[in-house]
Chain A
Amino acid sequence: MTSIVESRSGIYHDSVSLMQVSRRVSLVKGVEAALVAMATRLNLDLLTEMGFAVPDGARPDDLVVAVRAADEGSLADAKAELDRALVEVTTPRDGFAEHVPTRTMHSAARRLPATIGLISVPGPHAFVEALDALESGLNVMIFSDNVPVGQEVMLKDEARRRGLLVMGPDCGTARVRGVGLGFANAVESGPVGLVAASGSGAQQLCCLLDHAGVGVSHVLGVGGRDLSAEVAARSTFQALEALDADPATELIVLVSKTPDSAVAASLEAAVKTLSTPVVMALVGPGRPDLSEVATEVARLMGRARPVWFHLGASPEDVPRGGALWGLFVGGTLCQEARAIAMPLLGAVGTELPVQAASSSDGGGRSSGHLMVDFGDDRLTRGRPHPMIDPSLRIAALLQAGTDPGCAVVLLDVVLGYGAEPDPAAALAPAIRRARSIAAAGGRDLAVVVSLCGSTRDVQGYERQADELHHAGASVHLSNAEAARVAVSLAKGP
């Protein structure tokens, strides 16, 4: 015969619930007697009557647990049953009422046992929801941009205090246990984990690796500013630690635009302490591009050297000579193309030229090379991301048709969850139209598309590639390859 009597403070349940708990515990095989009750005078008397000693200093608002069982095994079973029963009494109840919609992260988290809060409300309101999510025990992915950096630091410090992760703000993509969040491609699961300060960079890597036969375990986004001096890689360090501890992850790739140099140095040091190897994919001048990184990761994973999918080139595959306009929806894809173009073309602007009042004036070259990121904070304020709403970029594409100086257009198209259901439906006609406007002005406008996606993406990779190709574009899975083709066309004979 063996028994336990203990009092627990800080737990309150009503007497009916506790009678149900007591009954469940007493029904466990080998249990002779059990009482789970609030330590009121009445219940303590009952405890004495049942032959238990009253615990010292028990107050009426303490919970008393007393179990007597035949042997230690039965006692352990009883304790396990007790824990289960107590959890069930505190499990959220709904009753017979109809659901009313949840209005805060906190109340939604009460309805669904969740690990992640995905926030895509307008940037000025994201902080409040994110803090509420953290206080509700959720990791947070902030898809929203236009969140002040001071708020980002505050959220990330709060998250670390709570042992949680903030992905974002401006975190476009993440993948956790096979589920893609935000913009995400349907790629195979596998051994490579990504820590991504760059959404489109992470999507490009996932798609390239998928093509190379290498699957992905998780993608933990950290937000585009995480490797800045102000944010100092707060989330990146946590994400690296989490992937290092994850048994499914054999290799980690850290993908980012060029980080702050001091932050990069502290990261290099931190990476050395991890037991999982880390490959750095820091997109920028003088660094390996993402396709080269993917090739290296494939090699490390024992795969054959990949050849990236591409479909034709522009009909007249001859160098034009003229301005290259890169019109991007993915920030890192834009930066990668820029890093490739600048050494070969020289200056590359970041803004579209102010549109001429009519196409008849000018006549000479109105602009130089440029690369515009339509996903930039400045261009998304008060409007959806260009992967969801393509209208601004399509207008720019038509402007390229009318601009006499523009010879080559480089476009990225990102497929996957969250993106437009059929990007080619709007883009292919726009490509045709831009090319025919240019043709009317005696120009042959070359269009090069970097098509980021996997064969399992809902939009259908091959169909999208075919339609864009039929509209007169060359199509490339590798953004770097697309950029090189576009640069060589623009450079001229």
Chain B
Amino acid sequence: MSVLGGLLQEEPNVVTAGIGVLHESLLAQGAAAEPVAWRPPLEGTAGALTATMADRRRADANRAAVGRLLAASPHLVDVRPARDALQLRAGTFLHAGPPISLDRASGPLLGALTGAMLFERLAGDPDQARARLDAGRVTIEPCHHRAAVGPMAGVVSPSMWVAEIVDTVHGGTSYCPLNEGLGKVLRYGAYSPDVVDRLRWMSDVLGPALQAALRRHGPLDLKALIAQALQMGDELHNRNRAATSLLIRALVGDMVECGLPTKVVADTLRFLDGNDHFFLNLGMAAGKVASDAARDLPGSTMVVAMARNGTDFGIQTAGTGDRWFTGPAAIPEGLYLGGYGADDANRDIGDSAIMETAGLGGFALAAAPAIVRFVGGDVARALSITRTMYEITLGESTAYLIPILDFRGSPVGIDVTKVVRTGILPVIDTGIAGKVAGTGQVGAGLVSPPPEAFVSAIVALGEEADRQRSGQVGQGG
């Protein structure tokens, strides 16, 4: 057995952090040395960071957290109305991001709620819908509080159909609405008649058709599908073309044979074919159920949710239960459609940052060179972003491998302590919604959470650690 990790037996290779002269002295002696580009932690976090690092539960809790996130095995098991799946009552709507009151809600959220009220026939026209919203006649609640995730505005109403995803390893369940496609769609805050008509068709035709095909097919392994899609150029957030194609391939046989009218089968398949992003919602629910498997591990500093409501950006950690740590959501940097520009953009919105929470999206950008120009970058930047995300994560995916990084697993499990230490914020690649209700999508780009969310998370984790330590002392005395 080697003494002190081979200190006196092996080559004295050294990792250095701090004074450059001491690093250069090692090189001058011909020793191998790797420098850490160290910098002070985010302002105001040093005390909480020390307390959190000193928490004796942290290392094991984080190992368990990232282990559960990686071990989760999400399967698509059913598609059914939100009313039944989420016990959603008439007049209650789910939305993306951390909790928010209607008076602080952004344009796209209000637009999507307006559209959802029209869809649910709770209002006859947009003005009536807005009046009822303003009068507080509806109840809104985060998707995350019902084990659900919704992209962009993330509005889910009782009559919408949702997909149900089960983690066959840990037994968790998650839900997502069905993706409407691009352009003028509810999730980007549009509520014109064609938006509402599409939603009706999705509930009347698409949902039941998918249900029939899926029930005939049996549970569909989403982890395997995502792993393949990643090697086909998707990063599963802004590019879902391969994943959507694979989904169609997996279901098409059962859809043909499950006894649906030919017209329904054809319309359903054409709709899926025409919507490259159909898989996004399923991927999000897969990320949600995997992240949820890591919840409630005291001492863990791993992020289990990142979500935005168009006003605030919120995160949750495995060690702090259901508390949200928030800061102002930023405006993404990216490319704009047609004549739109940054002035038209709403603040960052959507539960889709669950993809980055689970190690995909911006974290796997290196796997998706085909879309880097669409989000306003180049291939070198995409590689650099993924490489940088390893600096703030606890593990590497065993299933999601990135070919261009020589099949290195994608960076998984954002560690609040590492974000605070390095000042590196997660990179999320995302769509951009118009800030005026009813506009729809105006662009796509990259965005990061506000540092404030991580600062308040580390403060809370530090307080938890201190409480735990004083609790132990108390028990000991």
Contacts and interface: CB of A to CB of B under 8 A. Distances in A.
Interface of A: 12-14, 16-17, 61, 92-105, 107-109, 111-122, 124-125, 127-129, 131-133, 135, 137-139, 143-144, 151, 154, 162-165, 176-182, 184, 218, 238, 241-243, 245-246, 248, 384, 388, 417-418, 458
Interface stretch (B31-39, B74-82, B256-264): B31-39
Contacts of B16: 117-120
A144 B40 CA distance: 14
A181 B25 CA distance: 8
B233 to A, nearest CB: 16
B41 A128 contact: yes
A246 B4 CA distance: 11
Given A111-B34, A128-B50, A128-B421, A179 B29 contact: yes
B15 A118 contact: yes
Interface stretch (B83-91, B124-132, B385-393): B385-393
B12 A115 contact: yes
B22 A143 contact: yes
Contacts of B59: 135
B48 to A, nearest CB: 11
Nearest to A150: B54
Contact of A125 (B29, B46, B408): B46
Contacts, number: 212
B14 A14 contact: no
Interface residues of B, number: 64
Contacts of A135: 59
Nearest to A159: B4
A120 B22 contact: yes
A110 to B, nearest CB: 8
A450 B407 CA distance: 58
B470 interface: no
A127 B7 contact: no
A131 B53 contact: yes
Contact of A116 (B15, B35, B383, B406): B15
Interface string B377-418: 000100110111011000000110110111110000000011
B8 A131 contact: no
Contact of B388 (A100, A117, A151, A154): A100
Interface in B1-50: 3-8, 10-19, 21-23, 25-26, 28-29, 31-41, 46, 49-50
A112 B34 contact: yes
A118 B398 contact: no
Contact of A179 (B31, B41, B391): B31
A101 B35 CA distance: 8
Given A133-B15, A182-B22, A418-B25, 16 more contacts: A93-B407, A97-B383, A98-B380, A101-B36, A101-B37, A103-B39, A104-B391, A108-B17, A109-B15, A115-B14, A139-B7, A143-B22, A151-B50, A176-B7, A180-B25, A242-B7
Contact of A94 (B8, B71, B406): B406
A116 B7 contact: yes
A119 B18 contact: yes
Contacts of B36: 101-105, 107-108, 129
A104 B53 CA distance: 13
Contacts of A103: 36-39, 391, 421-422, 424
Contacts of B406: 93-96
Contacts of A101: 35-37
A138 B4 CA distance: 9
A458 B18 CA distance: 22
B366 interface: yes
B384 A100 contact: yes
| Shortest Cβ-Cβ A-B pairs, 5 listed | A120-B18, A95-B405, A101-B37, A417-B25, A95-B406
A384 B19 contact: yes
Nearest to A247: B8
Contacts of B33: 112
Given A102-B34, A104-B36, A388-B19, A97 B384 contact: yes
A98 B421 CA distance: 23
B15 A245 contact: no
A14 B407 contact: yes
Among the interface residues B23, B25, B33, B380, which one has the most CB atoms of the partner chain A within 10 A?
Answer: B25
Given A128-B53, A242-B7, A118 B17 contact: yes
A177 B11 contact: yes
Contact of B7 (A61, A165, A182, A417): A165
B13 A113 contact: yes
Contact of A131 (B10, B39, B54, B399): B54
Contacts of B404: 95-97
A133 B18 CA distance: 14
Interface string B78-107: 000000000000000000000000000000
A13 B398 CA distance: 7
A123 to B, nearest CB: 11
7 contacts: A17-B407, A96-B405, A96-B406, A164-B5, A218-B8, A246-B8, A388-B19
B12 A177 contact: yes
Nearest to A140: B15
Nearest to A137: B5
Interface in B219-234: none
Contacts of A114: 13-15, 32, 34
A109 B33 CA distance: 10
Contacts of A108: 15, 17, 34-36
B422 A242 contact: no
Nearest to A142: B18
Contacts of A94: 405-406, 408
A127 B50 contact: yes
A57 B41 CA distance: 48
Nearest to B383: A97
Interface string B127-158: 00000000000000000000000000000000
Nearest to A124: B46
B286 to A, nearest CB: 18
Contacts of B28: 417, 458
A100 B382 CA distance: 12
B51 to A, nearest CB: 10
A129 B19 CA distance: 14
A162 B380 CA distance: 39
B5 A139 contact: yes
Nearest to B418: A104
B38 A242 contact: no
A104 B394 CA distance: 12
Contact of A165 (B4, B383, B384): B4
A95 B398 contact: no
A104 B29 contact: no
B458 to A, nearest CB: 11
A8 B452 CA distance: 44
Contacts of B13: 112-116
B311 to A, nearest CB: 31
Contacts of A120: 16-19, 22
B144 to A, nearest CB: 29
A143 B7 contact: no
Nearest to B385: A100
Interface string B288-316: 00000000000000000000000000000
A248 B7 CA distance: 13
